[in-house]
Amino acid sequence: MSLALENKVLEQVFRLAPIPLCVLDRQFRYLLINERMAEVNGRPVAEHLGHTVDEIVPTFAEKIKAEVRPVMERGQPEPDHLFSGPIPKN
């Protein structure tokens, strides 16, 4: 499968997924986010891209980073982990 096709498939999965999804880089910047996650955070998708969790959800950022950092350090996904908690609207 070509990289372009893989990207298109990933974008479609994000668009159609019934759950909130996002991809963060190692600086906790949003690289990809779906509408459901954007709605949870109370901002449009476009306002997330390129911005950090500190900028988008400052009151929840430390909890997000504490949960995600170990996964980034291991370099392994954690498929059975459910991240939950209240996210105050900004």
Residue 31 belongs to a domain with what CATH number? Answer: 3.30.450.20
**pLDDT attached to residue 87:** 62
Per the structure, how many domains does the chain have? 1
| Interval 31-54: pLDDT, tens | 999 999 999 999 999 999 999 999
In a domain, 89, yes or no: no
* Residue 88 forms part of a structural domain: no
Q: Say yes or no to pLDDT of 63 above 70.
A: yes
For residue 90, being part of any structural domain is answered with no
- Region of residue 81 (phi > 0: left; psi between -120 and 50: alpha; otherwise: beta): beta
Asked whether the predicted pLDDT for residue 86 surpasses 90, the reply is: no
- Please provide residue 50's backbone torsions phi and psi, each rounded to the nearest 5 degrees: 85, -5
Q: Do the Cβ atoms of 64 and 53 come closer than 8 Å?
A: yes
Residue 82 lies in a domain: no
Q: Show the tokens assigned to 68.
A: 């995600």
Q: Which domain holds residue 33?
A: 3-74
In a domain, 85, yes or no: no
